[in-house]
A and B are shown apart, each in its own frame.
Chain A
Amino acid sequence: MSIVTVQLGQCGNQIGFEVFDALFNDSHCPRGLCSKRENEAYQASCKERFFSEEENGVPLARAVLVDMEPKVINQTLSKAARSGRWKYGQHSCFCQKQGSGNNWAYGYSVHGPRHEESIMNLIQKEVEKCDSLSGFFIIMSMAGGTGSGLGAFITQNLQDQYSSALKMNQIIWPYGTGEVIVQNYNSVLTLSHLYRSSDALLVHENDAVHKICAKLMNIKQISFCDINQVLAHQLGSVFQPTYSGEGSFHYRRNPLGDLMENLVPHPEFKMLGVRNIPQMSENSLAYSTFTWAGLLKHLRQMLISNAKMEDGIDWQVRPPLLGLPPLGKMSVNREIHFNTSIANLVILRGKDVHSADVGAFKDPALYTSWLEPVHAFNVWKTQRAFRKYEKSAALVSNSQSLVKPLDRIVGKAWNMFASRAYLHQYTKFGIEEEDFLDSFTLLEQVIASYCNL
């Protein structure tokens, strides 16, 4: 089954390019550490999911590119075409001349309705190219105007028009210290709307990825390209084909469906995060060897101590002892020590993957009480290695780890809202104080729900 990607705004398009590039390069990587037949099956599966084919054999990304101003899309199209290996469809773009001005209301209330038909038509065309649709992957930022506002509008439309297809939104959480001054307003409005219309929100925080670039990848002058490439690596390790079961030799057919089934058991809890290990510069790879035991141990500790990378993990944090009452309800104000999960999915790729022991992840203490570990935890193992990593592990989790960032954004937006600053920019385009209040209410409920796990 195929995934149709919708890339929205500058961020969405810049990241989208890196994701397709990473997926393509990995699937054509010669060192798959598996048999030729398996490698071919992997390639075919990746292709079915993410690429369609043009007459001359050049793979076309299954993507629709949307932006309200032309510069980024033009850049993205030419970058892809220049690579010579894959490209975007010439007619898969929708572009306007004037952006959204970082204004969520403009993206949602003006651009949305105005361009609804054209954009949905483009998506429809892409959907028709798929033999069978697994769902939509929508890449957008929260801080700006197009990705956030128009993204929310389009997701709602997708829910209406393709009610049986799944929607996963890849959301970029902005740097804490502003990229955009009204980013907290835009984020609050985006998250509250997506919570109602999306099936899962896969979150990547710029701050976290930035640290990975600085500490693990050893990049001195970090650019957005570097950040996007790390992100693409993480997404690739999740979305590339995996075997459908222990001892199986067929790749999963419904990637989005499988992800949702494992990770989103309850609609109140939709926020997912990704962790990946090992993450390092390619030069250092040659000098490192890893064991599954070591990787999994680090990954588990990253989960429970809420670390986003394998450097600086707090090894003091331990899950609460079984049988004893939990150490008081989680309060956002206290230093959170233990990160409770609703559901976890570990994806392992590479050499001797079947020998990897994931037992430690099945510990019921890691999870909230209303879900049995057998339902809360899943593992997908695939022999075929990812990129140049002899062994790599990804963890997609639905846990409390996003509560603190969410709380921070809501708090800052609330402070600003109390002073009524910038509101005239939103009311100008039909987003009233009522809409803000609704959004705040919804998000406070989400925060409370996660805190009470």
Chain B
Amino acid sequence: MTQSVVVQVGQCGNQIGCCFWDLALREHAAVNKKGIYDEAISSFFRNAVLIDMEEGVVNEILQGPLRDVFDSKQLITDISGSGNNWAVGHKVFGSLYQEKILEKLRKSAEHCDCLQCFFIIHSMGGGTGSGLGTFLLKVLEDEFPEVYRFVTSIYPSGEDDVITSPYNSILAMKELNEHADCVLPIDNQSLFDIISKIDVMVNSGKLGAAIKPKSLVTSSTGVFKKRQEKPFDAMNNIVANLLLNLTSSARFEGSLNMDLNEISMNLVPFPQLHYLVSSLTPLYTLADVNIPPRRLDQMFSDAFSKDHQLIRADPRHSLYLACALMVRGNVQISDLRRNIERLKPSLQFVSWNQEGWKTSLCSVPPVGHSHSLLALANNTCVKPTFVELKERFIRLYKKKAHLHHYLQIEGMEESCFSEAVSSLSALIQEYNQLDATKSMPVEDLPRLNVAV
């Protein structure tokens, strides 16, 4: 049984992290009743490192119901915060806390008898999550080169209230390009749209039957959040569910298992193209128990619709490099195959990976559902997000707005910015080249000629 260490950095990272632990405990409690692989599962989540450069969020965690889950030894905090400045997070706090961080990570790693991956949760637009979070990546790469680095990054939406978020994001992107194995970009706007959709469905009375209470992808156990759920809580729960489903096949049994190292192996054809667009379906389950195949098939269709993606992207109209379908619950290989056959004609795959599907079947569904699907796509539809980010950056950078806040930090120069932008431009260019092949006919290449 492999273990993972979750490292949650910054306000956003820690808030999502908490939702994640909340849901994970709920899932374990439900499974432990059946007594499957108890000890192994609990050890999977034993190790977390919580990092924040201001105390508010972490303190809240330590005073809330999750206080027994975490030990103060797992925390690294400071008081002043990073002021939404990547350079402060990366350069200042990076060097200040490098030793301490390494020490905590080594301790966590020691508790694992088979450490497979680090999950880093952070946002891109701020200072701590963005700067210190990406500083961590380099540290992890040097210290634990064999362990995969999966990063869940919250990208700033257009109406982000942090003015410098484009700077922070671009600087962080360079680090993600170079030091992450796999990145799952997520943006707040998409999460918000998903929640709005759910609210509309729930309140419209269109649904004949009631929705099963725990089945909302946005719901928490209800124990942790006593106050009225704010939009962020619901949004964070979606991301938490993403992480839970990502690891389900590694934790539970199934007829076609998928470990985390298989995600990287199958979905990353070239080292720099490691950004995966994710979608979770269903968003809720109706109370009726018998799920006719139509609903099951609907789940698969939804996974490819742009409304269910956790980032603003339309995979159907872009080019797939690879796609993974991780199914949980009472779904068999024939259901999976039927849906792949059905949906394939409407999707465009790159010429050298026409059958680029990776599939897994895990028998244990998430709590409150009879089945669920997590789709991960390596698709050129991430490009618009990056292009937009670059444009916002340039608008700001042209005017040299707020630049002095960064340049006054030791180790920061204008070249850091220009390098970061070139790194992003190179990435965008790769996606452009792939897109250019989209409408070209797929031809078989001439094969080797052998004498018999």
Contact = CB atoms under 8 A, between A and B. Distances in A.
Interface of A: 10, 14, 69-72, 75, 97-99, 101-103, 145, 175-182, 210, 213-214, 219-225, 227, 410-412, 414-416, 418-422, 424-425, 440-441, 444-445, 448-449, 452
B266 A102 contact: yes
Interface in B424-452: 444-445, 447-450, 452
Interface string B226-267: 000000000000000000000000000101110101101111
Interface in B122-145: none
B334 A221 contact: yes
B2 A98 contact: yes
A449 B257 contact: no
B265 A182 contact: yes
A178 B357 contact: yes
B18 interface: no
A222 B266 contact: no
B447 to A, nearest CB: 6
A109 to B, nearest CB: 14
Contact of A418 (B271, B352, B355, B452): B352
B95 interface: no
A176 B355 contact: yes
Contacts of B262: 99, 101-102, 145, 180
A101 B1 contact: no
B158 interface: no
B266 A414 contact: no
A71 B452 contact: no
Contact of B265 (A70, A72, A102, A225): A102
B279 interface: no
Contacts of B32: none
A178 B352 CA distance: 13
A187 B259 CA distance: 20
A227 B333 contact: yes
Contacts of B255: 14, 223-225
Contacts, number: 141
Contact of B355 (A224, A412, A441, A444): A412
B113 interface: yes
A420 B262 CA distance: 19
Size bracket of the B interface: 35 or more
A224 B352 contact: no
A83 B270 CA distance: 47
Given A70-B1, A99-B261, A210-B337, A440 B448 contact: yes
A418 B352 CA distance: 8
Contact of B267 (A181, A219, A412, A416): A181
Contacts of B340: 177
Contacts of B358: 102, 178-181
B116 interface: yes
B265 A103 contact: yes
A175 B334 CA distance: 11
A226 to B, nearest CB: 8
A411 B335 CA distance: 28
A364 to B, nearest CB: 23
Given A98-B114, A421-B270, A69 B359 contact: no
Contacts of A10: 256-257
A97 B352 contact: no
Given A102-B266, A221-B332, A421-B269, 6 more contacts: A71-B1, A71-B253, A102-B358, A103-B261, A222-B332, A410-B447
A372 B153 CA distance: 68
Given A70-B1, A75-B253, A180-B358, A444 B335 contact: no
B305 interface: no
A-B interface, 5 closest residue pairs, ranked by CB to CB distance from nearest: A101-B261, A97-B114, A222-B334, A178-B357, A421-B269
A242 to B, nearest CB: 33
